A and B are shown apart, each in its own frame.
Chain A
Amino acid sequence: MNKQEANRKIVLQTEDLTMQFGGVVAVDHLTASVYEGEIVALIGPNGAGKTTAFNVITGVYTPTNGRVRLFGDVIAENKPRGKMKELYKGEDADAYSNRIVLKPHQITKLRVARTFQNIRLFKALSVFENVLIAHHTNLKAGVLRAAFHLNGHEEKMMAERSMELLRIVGLDHLADEISNNLPYGMQRRLEIARALATEPKLLLLDEPAAGMNPQETLDLMDFIGEIKDQFKLTIFMIEHHMNLVMGISDRIYVIDFGKQIAVGTPAEIQNNEAVINAYLGVAE
């Protein structure tokens, strides 16, 4: 970690984050920080626990042990409890005494948005509706006001912003298309647009380039850079395409079997012994 970074604001910080399912440790004492304005990648072989880490950060799972901070505030904290007390494989079973569990939608309201590895669009709804729905989280009108359509101005603003987002991701001409009918790459873009509609500061991308060809991947790389600048985002992403990861990330965390095995700039990671072993050591 260089000096420059030390002065920057930490957006996301995980401390000893551990997720254990029964006897299987999916994420093992992950301690990572993401600074404001950074693009950080989380890489590792298949089954290393990357998506699980994302799921814990976004509140889908409650961590077994450890803490997650967002802009300094704790959004998740737990220690092994109940049955887990005996099953827990770590040593620090009492280091984090509080139990703080936020629901996914509460974390989204704290300006964290995500995409999913196995695209989860609202399939039967139109492209436009997919983005429009994501504005709901910031809706000011109560249910009665909204039901009687007394928030016309707000509705109009949401619709305009949704179209604007679609224009940015280049899907405005397909606004009325059913989202499930879009080609794969466009569905990924739509998912990003939908996430942006919640007005996030931190964007978590789970394998945004999965299933894309090299050209599409290159386009995506530019696209991520653009939206990062335009929306003043901090980006934390899981990715397998090494060209994308190396070309765009400021820093990279590498995990294997849930454990962090390396962290550093792309150049540092490329020459890291442990990383090379982890990747090449995995016999397919």
Chain B
Amino acid sequence: MTFTTFIQHCLTGISLGGAYALIAIGYTMVYGILLLINFAHADIFMMAGYFMIFAMSSLPWFISIPVVIIVTIALGLAVEGAAYRPLRMAPRMSIMISAIGMSYLLQNLAIYLFSALPRAYPTIEPLKQNFKIGEVSASLVTFLTPVLTIVLVVLLMQLIKRTKIGMAMRAVSRDYDTSKLMGIKINRVIRFTFIIGSALAAIGSILYFTDRMSVTPFSGLMPGLKCFVAAVLGGIGSIPGAVIGGFFIGISETFLIAFGYSTFSDAFTFLLLIVILVIRPTGLLGETITEKV
């Protein structure tokens, strides 16, 4: 591997990792608050891909992007309202099954509405512009993704640190029951979490699919699981953790494929997950919590 190809792979990896990071934030925030693996998050991300296809068929890209973000947020809120809110008091296993059911439903809905065949993802011209630095060439999206990810994460961190709703979110993720007693409107906090998560998933999907060029109803499945692993790797509930995890998985996946182990790229992610869960279940930046007997 020459230095140029090495740099080329690094860029690809970082770009992929940025998209993963944005999706992973959605997982980590929901888990932090509801203690739920939002299996449907992956399919919200996939649906965002289809929304873009339809938006771009009649609208220019700079209008399509906000439209897609808004529609995706609406979908995220709908999933929350339909599948999770009725089960707030239910045993954890029921909520998890509901999440899996929702994911199943969205996938089947996508097959029904858009067929199982891959659909071409529209090209957003400015994102596809090619840049050449020395021997290394890459499109704008490759450079833009990590930068955008970092900017969004910094903004999000500020939001959580400084605003009232951010404080409420931190309180709820620390102690659900007590914050309820303290008068925090839990449902509002949860809705807000889903809004942020879905918006980031929509942005992530634009960045991700622009590089991959097609969407299928199953496009969300693997990236979704990988992003959850990224969230666990970084420490579930921690936003910077999710970002680090996302980049790590994106880069390692790219290199595995570059070295010719593409069959194992998915398996590697899960192997990583199991290793973390066994060695350090709280992830890189997570905190330990002891169960009270």
Q: State the A residues within 8 Å of B (CB).
A: 21, 51, 55, 60, 116
The 5 A-B pairs at the shortest CB distance, nearest first, are namely A60-B293, A55-B293, A21-B290, A116-B293, A51-B293
Residues of A within 8 A of B290 (CB): 21
Interface of chain B: mostly helix, strand, loop or mixed: loop
- In the assembled complex, the Cα of A21 lies from the Cα of B290 at a distance in Å of 9
With both chains docked as a complex, state the minimum distance between the C-beta of B92 and any C-beta of chain A, in angstroms.
Answer: 16
For this complex, 5 residue pairs linking A to B, each with C-beta atoms less than 8 Å apart, are A21-B290, A51-B293, A55-B293, A60-B293, A116-B293
Complex Cα–Cα for A125 and B293 (A): 21
Chain B: interface size category: under 10
- In the complex, the chain A residue whose C-beta lies closest to that of B288 is A22
Residues on B with C-beta less than 8 A from A60 are: 293
**Complex-state Cα separation, A36 to B293, whole angstroms:** 27
Tell me, in angstroms, the Cα distance from A60 to B293 when the chains sit together: 8
Contacts of B293 in A (CB 8 A): 51, 55, 60, 116
Q: Please, which residue of chain B has its CB at the minimum distance from the CB of A118?
A: B293
Name the CB-closest residue of B to A54: B293
A164 to B293, CA, bound (A): 30
A51 to B290, CA, bound (A): 15
Closest chain-A Cβ to B147's Cβ sits at a distance in Å of 37
User: Across the interface, which residues of B come within 8 angstroms of A55, CB to CB?
Assistant: 293
Report how far A60 CA is from B290 CA in the complex, Å: 11
Q: State in angstroms the CA–CA spacing of A51 and B293 once bound together.
A: 9
What is the bound-complex CA distance between A21 and B293, given in angstroms?
Answer: 14
Chain B residues in 8 Å Cβ range of A116: 293
With both chains docked as a complex, state the minimum distance between the C-beta of B125 and any C-beta of chain A, in angstroms: 54
Q: How far is the CA of A23 from the CA of B293 in the complex (A)?
A: 19
Cα A55 to Cα B293 in complex, Å, equals: 8
Q: In the complex, how many angstroms separate the beta carbon of A195 from the nearest chain B beta carbon?
A: 15
A115 CA to B293 CA in the complex, in Å?
12
Query: Could you give, for residues 252-293 of chain B, a 1 whenever the CB lies within 8 Å of some chain A CB and a 0 otherwise?
Result: 000000000000000000000000000000000000001001
> Among residues 145 to 176 in chain B, which have CB atoms less than 8 Å away from a CB atom of chain A?
none
Contact with A along B178-222 (1 / 0, CB 8 A): 000000000000000000000000000000000000000000000
